[in-house]
Structure 1
Amino acid sequence: MVAQEFTVDLNKPLVFQVGHLGEAYQEWVHQPIVSKEGPRFFESDFWEFLTRTVWWAIPTIWLPVVCYCISMSIQMGHTLPQVALLVVAGIFVWTLVEYTLHRFLFHIKTKTYWGNTMHYLIHGCHHKHPMDGLRLVFPPAATAILCVPFWNFVKLISTPTTTPALFGGGLLGYVMYDCTHYYLHHGQPSSDVPRNLKKYHLNHHFRVQTKGFGITSALWDKVFGTLPSSKTAEKSR
């Protein structure tokens, strides 16, 4: 007797359903539903609330933290030009973190119940519902948790007086990334640079999801050979 394939009911909370898809999850999650109305994740209103974030909450919450971190390095004796270089270096480090997370964590292949469930929460939901405006930026509570290992990483590669500014630069890079990501989905760019970046990102969603992992730029896609071919990019125009 052949077991019946599991079917996700889109009218019910999704998070604890998707794990049952097993090996079929990867195919299901990469068939996008283009609607600005997002699905319900949880039965609990509390947990549901934590999954929804307006885009402007990101700069509102994190830019003061960026400023505080930068001021710490200034108070420890660094000049403004030195701090500016550290902030730029932090932004540069973030672009690599952004690429690495997107390629190796957000696009990890899963097939177990909990693997599918966690992947859907982290990134799968975005590919399934790419226009869900309240799930395009990272929830602040999750960002706060991830700041701890990022701070420790920065401490390993810098000195006590440069760590705050370097971390602040990385956090500023994250704010730029999340705001850019929202704009690429919901903005209507009129100039060439943001318009091409929007095409580049939507190409990742709707044509070749195994390439084009950069959000704020295609730099690391070029470095690591995950740049979509020009022919594929041209088809997305």
Structure 2
Amino acid sequence: MERPMRLFIGYKAWKEEEYLLNRMTFDDLVKAYVTYPAIQVYALILLTALIIGIVTIQSIPLFLLAFLVGALIFPIAWYITHRFILHGSWMYKTPWLAGFWKRVHYDHHRYPNDLSVLFGGLHTTLPPILLIAGPVGWLIGGLPCAAAAIVGTVMMTMYTEFLHAGEHLAFEPKSKFWKDIKKRHLAHHFHNENGNYGIAEFFWDKSFGTFYAESTDRERSPTARNLGYTDEMAQKYPWVKELTDAEPGARKEMRNRGAAS
């Protein structure tokens, strides 16, 4: 008899699992998603904020407006962060930020099939969610609207995390929407990283001229996998390389299996 799935397993147990998207099924992805502790915290925050918003609601139109604004904050915030921060060189040139950059984005481009470096950590996602969505919602209509804006942003975060993982999963989506965003996101990873910064939508890419629908629309970039952190850069700014070299052998072997597809 198959053992029931344990829902709450904690970060340590989750990290000990081998989640390689090129070797996973859709059901495997769903299991990995719902058991990831950060997703569970998002769900708790979403439920708590929703209850607070409903209990204190004063104006339904303002509440819905704040929710919509919160949901729309995520795409533009992600575009700015992805393009100007995560794809910048200044973080790996700074000793105390090099490790952060490595974990948050460099490792994802080096090992795009490794789910453990695809999902965001709470220390990188929660502060901007609470410090941006909350105050914006408060300006719209006080506490209930602050809660509504947080609900909107957290929902978009959870939605985007799942779609992002699905874009790297070795399966062919049935919907045209998912097929299109998968193709464009994978082009960002394997063809030219200087475009298609969106994940679940590409409105801001189209607005700022960084969108390309087909790989033939852009030249192939030699730095799509290393984000410009070449051997030459590693000699000048060794901190990311030192952290990479210090990774456990088992982790390297697992990631190499994930790269072999």
TM-score scaled by structure 1?
Answer: 0.68
Following TM superposition, by how much is the alpha carbon of 1:61 offset from its aligned partner in structure 2, in angstroms? Answer: 2.4
Aligned twin of 1:66: 46
Aligned twin of 1:170: 153
Q: Do structure 1's residue 219 and structure 2's residue 206 form an aligned pair?
A: no
Structure 1 residues 98 and 200: alpha-carbon distance in aligned structure 2, compared to 1, 3 A threshold: same
Aligned twin of 1:130: 112
Distance 2:123 2:204 in 1: 28
Moved more, 179-188 or 155-164: 155-164
Structure 1 residues 174 and 155: alpha-carbon distance in aligned structure 2, compared to 1, 3 A threshold: same
Structure 1 residues 67 and 79: alpha-carbon distance in aligned structure 2, compared to 1, 3 A threshold: farther
Provide the secondary structure at the position in 2 that maps to 1:90. helix
Structure 1 residues 165 and 229: alpha-carbon distance in aligned structure 2, compared to 1, 3 A threshold: closer
Distance 1:204 1:211 in 2: 6
Distance 1:194 1:140 in 2: 26
Q: Identity over aligned residues, as a percent?
A: 21
Following TM superposition, by how much is the alpha carbon of 1:127 offset from its aligned partner in structure 2, in angstroms? Answer: 0.5
Matches within 5 A, 1:75-114: 75-78=55-58, 82-110=62-90, 112=93, 114=95
Q: How many matched pairs?
A: 186
Which digits, 9 at most, give the CA deviation of each residue in 1:85-142, with x for residues without a partner?
A: 4322211111111111111111111452625433212211100111102221112344
Q: Do structure 1's residue 150 and structure 2's residue 132 form an aligned pair?
A: yes
Provide the secondary structure at the position in 1 that maps to 2:141. coil
Distance 2:62 2:117 in 1: 36
1:154–1:163 contact (8 Å) kept in structure 2: yes
Aligned twin of 2:99: 117
Distance 1:203 1:129 in 2: 15
Following TM superposition, by how much is the alpha carbon of 1:79 offset from its aligned partner in structure 2, in angstroms? Answer: 5.4
Bigger share in helix: 2
Give the superposed CA RMSD.
Answer: 2.9
2:160–2:199 contact (8 Å) kept in structure 1: yes
Which digits, 9 at most, give the CA deviation of each residue in 1:161-192, with x for residues without a partner?
A: 31111121111111111111111111621221
Q: Which runs of 5+ in 2 are unaligned?
A: 1-18, 22-31, 221-261
1:208–1:228 contact (8 Å) kept in structure 2: no
Structure 1 residues 85 and 153: alpha-carbon distance in aligned structure 2, compared to 1, 3 A threshold: closer
Structure 1 residues 101 and 156: alpha-carbon distance in aligned structure 2, compared to 1, 3 A threshold: farther
Aligned twin of 1:207: 191
Moved more, 224-233 or 128-137: 224-233
Distance 2:170 2:66 in 1: 31
Distance 2:78 2:153 in 1: 10
1:55–1:136 contact (8 Å) kept in structure 2: no
1:66–1:168 contact (8 Å) kept in structure 2: yes
Letter matched to residue 155 of structure 2: L
